[in-house]
Structure 1
Amino acid sequence: SAGPPGRRSVAREVPREVALRVSLDPEGFRGFAVEARALRRLDPDMDPNTRVLLGTTGPADARDTARLLGEGLTRQEILAVSVGRSGVERAFDGALRGEFGRESAYRDLHGSVLSRETRDPVVDGEDLRLTVSDALNGAARGILGGSRGALVAMDPRTGAILAAAGNDGPEGGGVFPPAAGYLPGSVFKVLTAAVALEGDLAPGAGEVECRGARSRPLPCSHDHGRPGMREAISGSCNAYFGETALRIGVRPLEDWARLLRIDRPPGLRLPGEGGGTDWTQALYRNEWERTDLANLGIGQGPVNLSPLQVAALYAAVANGGRPVTPHLVAGRGPAPGEPVFSPATLWTVRAGLEDTVLRGTGSGKGLEEFRFAGKTGTAQVKKGPPGERRLHAWFAGYAPAEDPRIVVVAVLLDQQESGGDAAGPLVAEFLRAWRRAGEGR
């Protein structure tokens, strides 16, 4: 391994008694020296997804060296440390590393140490506690099985991540699906609904006629007649939300996304972290067609959100309108913001989400027993006949509806089935695991 000029490493992680023997007998081991190096180890029995969240470490590269020199470390100390490369290890690298101690040693002519004087004491790295349950992460991984996608859970009151499991598959490019951005489909309609209600722009009952595939400005999978907002949420009416987006415009959607802290990734330093509302920047350069804007309102077109960002969006609906930031370390996440939604907006949106599970697109998936309120989403990644089309199947929501304690988001990538059919049963199975763990009582 690398070492100071003229020196090289001949053994690592030697037993303590060997290190002491070499240190105490410099004449017998002339030319050898013992160096202490900081190591970070992970429990080998830890769930693989939890390991991804914790992150990786490695020796300092040129950029790390420049940063650490600026923080006051010597080159000798930099050679002795491992630095965080991803996840919690990267985000909290300085806190976990602590500070080196320094001492002066007085030696005789033969190099033997006569006395030592401590100049700066060693400062241990901080103890950090994850918000994630390793047991729930293991349950989520088992529920996903070999399917590409993600399953995440969050405390809606704080934004603390309770579970984040993902499977990217052999062709996924090494990203971690809970943190990667994907086309959200109809789970995005919650944002469209809330923005319209806050701006008094929501079409009233009877103002939009849904005629199924013949509807305008967007076709719909069912004939919903002339729905109001609550019915449009539970039935996931594309015609209604397409018209709603045309009334809102793009800039308010971006402004509210920023207010809700989903305009950019939360900065967890996870592989492939993405998602956010950079899609709106194109609007300031080019005028969009009506169809583009209508599609934006239903989560299609130029919009990507990560499962963790979707969880943060639904957390704000569940907790009374307070924006939260997804975080992994207890006591280290940004505090929830002040409420941004009016009670009237929250009542309508939450009623629509409850209806979705009781009698809408999310009914019959085993979620009623948990008093779950949520929204289905079926994002069209590639159109075509069955067998050729590609869909991202989403289900997002919270439980129990009257006093939410958990947000759950599931997405299965490149599916043939809808969000309700493909992702809904996964959410129900995870909630059973949550209840078995003693949290869902």
Structure 2
Amino acid sequence: MFLNQPIKSPEEDPFYRRIRITFVIIGFLFFILLLKLFFLQIIKGEHYRQIALKRSLKVITLKAPRGNIYDRRGVLLAGNIPSFTLLLDRKIVKGPEGDKTLKKLAEIIGEDFPTLKQDYMIACKKYPWEKVPVKTDIDRDLVARIEARKYFLPGIEIQVEPRRFYPLGEKTFHFIGYVSRISAKDLKKLAAKGYEANDFIGRSGVEAQYEDILRGKKGRQLVEVDAKGRIKKIIAEEEPTIGESLVLTVDSTFLEVAYDLLKGKSGAIVVMDPRDGRLLAMTSAPGVDPNKFIEGFSPKEWSKVVEDVYHPLLNKAILSYHPGSTFKILTALAGLEERVISPQETVFCPGYYRLGRRIFRCWRSWGHGQVDLLKSIEVSCDTYFYKLGEELGIETIARYARAAGFGQKTGLDFPGEKSGLVPDKAWKLKVFKAPWQKGETLNVAIGQGALLTTPLQLGKFLVSVVDGGTIYRPWYVAQIIDPYGEVLKEFSPVKEGRLPAKKRTLALLKKGMVQAVNGKDATGKAAKLKNIMVGGKTGTAQVIGMKKRVKSEDLPYLKRDHAWFMAFAPADNPEIIIVVFVEHGGHGGSSAAPIAGKFLKFYFEGAQPVL
């Protein structure tokens, strides 16, 4: 029967139709797949390759070491040492998984979990960027332990960076300054200059003033990383460039000796070369160890610093105070130049000076008797200068004071310097809306009243007096050098002008100051040396007005007088000047002059001073 049935063609057979339809569908799907592959590989291939590349490659910033700071003999004042910082990535170390990582890390570093987590949370608040520093300057053994277990510590990174180091610690704090980690506020302003999160920046002193010179140029490292961000290999590297270094005019030994001489006191010492105005030392006490600003203070340590009655964060060498009797040299200069006095003219001092109904007392209650110019400087007679001040008037005193550099910054390239204040009639009218009184002139004539000067200003003034009238701008950078020691820039003295005084006037002032140290009744005899002739002037500045005479040492510390002494040596050919300021130190002759004497003895004889 089958043989007699007609055979159907494939087109008519349902089975073959189903197979054909299936192949068409498969072919269509395959065509769609080919189109998709073509689009991904040819049209968008480069785009997706870049995404894959970015996910496996990472650019790491290599910190650049800051340039070094040296003294005039090449002694290191600020340098760098290798340091390891523990960073935590806040995007990874978070939530329950982050706590697990912190617990593992706490076990490795030998710290309890709550303390470590608290440190981490504090760091996250302080540094609002992706990777926050939790531990700084960790030792190599700890680094090795963390690196060995890094696979189990996602989000943990050890950063190698140059750490600033200050060999003399607190002794150079106010002059050299310090660096600390950049803040979020700073970063907003400085990002355009290439600063990044976790960078260090100069905060005060030389470090801040020469930030752009000292900071180096960062390097870059292109690395391949795995899915957890761990480095697999280095692809390319651009090495960082160390910053340029500074050679200063100061002497590290002078800085140390000056600071040690102020031990237990609050004050400042400025030492200069009168032949060209260069700084040999500038120190303020007490100080703070600048290395602690890198390591970090505990809350207890920081409270101790900010609550210290001696104010260790303030640089007293550039702050303003009443100069006391040191200012009498300026008053005498004005008197001689204006011919209001002659060197031989005498004034009788009964222990006070009468101005109308007011009595202005001399520091020596029983008086000095008859005194001329030189004797008045030797014994620091207030009565003599009260009379001279009245005859000169405030406008004349103010004019000479400003010409000598008072009431304005010295020009030293140093941050934070105060201008001081030279008061006059216009100033009082503007500030107090009141007329000037004659009694105020008498106070200014002896360095009191509204008059304010800085130790650095007094140093600049004394340089101009003992060097024949030349006014030098104080300076302290001798050279800028590259990392190989090649000199890039050399600095020279800058003459700003001359004192409005004849050489004869300056010679008389120097002679008076020599008597103030070596005379029979000298107030500064504590600075006298055996083989070197020293000239100087004491100053005792009242902090508060007293109706009755009270010994300074019997008053509460903050109400005691400030002590001053400025000196130069050798008298016939000065090569050094020194200004000593002791805050609430009492009398200049008994508190500041001995310090100057010990420093000068060390300078000329090389013997370590007895503290």
Q: How many residues align?
A: 423
Tell me, yes or no, if the aligned pair for 2:268 and 2:455 is still in contact at 8 Å: yes
Give the distance between the partners of 1:243 and 1:407, measured in 2 at CA: 29
Aligned to 1:347: 507
**Structure 1's 83 and 254: CA in aligned 2 closer, same or farther, altered over 3 A?**
farther
| Alpha-carbon distance in structure 2 between the residues aligned to 1:62 and 1:4 | 7
Q: Aligned ranges for residues 227-238 of structure 1 at < 5 Å?
A: 227=372, 229-238=373-382
Paired residue for 1:164, among 255, 265, 283? 283
Distance 1:40 1:126 in 2: 14
> Structure 1 pair 37/249, CA: closer, same or farther in 2 (3 Å)?
farther
Structure 2 match to 1:381: 543
CA distance 1:135–1:161, change in 2 (3 Å): closer
Residues 385 and 445, structure 2, Cα contact 8 Å, conserved in 1: yes
Q: Residue 354 of structure 1: CA displacement?
A: 1.5
C-alpha distance after superposition, 1:265-324 (max 9, x if no partner): 456336xx5461254463353322111011101101112222222222211112222223
1:322 is matched with 470
1:140-155 residue pairs with structure 2 within 5 A? 140-155=258-273
Residue from 172, 195, 212 that aligns with 1:50: 172
- Measured after TM superposition, the shift of residue 243 of structure 1 is 2.8
Q: Indicate the SS of the match to 1:225.
A: strand
- 1:22-421 equivalences in 2 (<5 Å): 37=161, 39-43=163-167, 46=168, 48-70=170-192, 72-73=193-194, 77-101=195-219, 105=222, 116=236, 122-157=240-275, 158-167=277-286, 170-174=308-312, 175-198=314-337, 200-204=338-342, 209-217=347-355, 218-220=360-362, 221=364, 222-225=367-370, 227=372, 229-266=373-410, 268-269=414-415, 274=418, 276-277=420-421, 279-280=423-424, 282-285=427-430, 286-331=434-479, 335-340=494-499, 341-359=501-519, 360-362=521-523, 364-365=525-526, 367-369=528-530, 370-382=532-544, 383=546, 384-386=549-551, 387-388=554-555, 390-416=560-586, 418-421=587-590
TM-score where L is the length of structure 2? 0.60
Query: Per-residue CA shift, 1:207-233, capped at 9, x if unaligned?
Result: 663332243454433334252x33332
Contact 1:131 1:328 in 2 (8 A): yes
Q: Report if the CA contact (8 A) 1:166-1:178 is conserved.
A: no
Q: Deviations over 1:141-193 (max 9, x none)?
A: 33333233333322223231424242489313342333332221100111222
Q: Which amino acid aligns with 2:459?
A: A
Q: Could you tell me which amino acid in structure 1 is paired with residue 326 of structure 2?
A: V
Q: Secondary structure at the match of 2:246?
A: coil
Percent of aligned pairs sharing the same letter: 25
Tell me, in whole angstroms, the C-alpha distance in 2 between the residues paired with 1:10 and 1:192. Answer: 58
Which residue of 1 is the match for residue 98 of structure 2? none
Could you tell me which amino acid in structure 2 is paired with residue 51 of structure 1?
Answer: F
Q: Is the 8 A contact 1:38 1:80 kept in 2?
A: no
Structure 2 unaligned runs (5+)? 1-122, 288-306, 480-490
Highest RCO, 1 vs 2 (Cα 8 Å, sep ≥ 6): 1
Q: Which amino acid aligns with 1:131?
A: T
How far apart are 1:4 and its partner, in Å?
8.3
Kept in 1: contact 2:379–2:523 (CA 8 A): no
More strand by share: 2
Would the alpha carbon gap of residues 186 and 68 (structure 1) be closer, same or farther in structure 2, given more than 3 Å must change?
same
SS for the counterpart of 2:260 is helix
SS in 1 for 2:472: coil
1:241 Cα deviation after fit: 1.9
Map Cα deviations across residues 393-431 of structure 1 (whole Å, 9 max, x no partner).
Answer: 222110001111111222333345x32233222221111
Distance 1:326 1:63, change over 3 A: farther
Amino acid in the other structure paired with 1:89: E
Instruction: Name the CA distance, whole Å, in 2 between partners of 1:207 and 1:364.
Output: 25
* Matched residue SS, 1:337: strand
- Assess, with a 3 A threshold, how the Cα gap between structure 1 residues 27 and 144 changes in structure 2: closer, same or farther: closer
Note the aligned Cα RMSD (angstroms). 3.8
Question: For 1:354-408, what per-residue CA distance to the aligned partner results, in whole angstroms no more than 9, with x for missing partners?
Answer: 1222214336425143211111112222433222473222221100011111112
Amino acid at match of 2:504: A
Larger-gyration structure (1/2): 2
Gap regions ≥5 residues in structure 1: none
**What is the alpha-carbon distance in structure 1 between the residues aligned to residue 163 and residue 260 of structure 2?**
31
2:343/2:374 contact within 8 Å kept: no
Aligned to 1:428: 597
> TM-score of the superposition, structure 1-length normalised?
0.80
Q: Aligned partners of 1:325 and 1:401: how far apart in 2?
A: 22
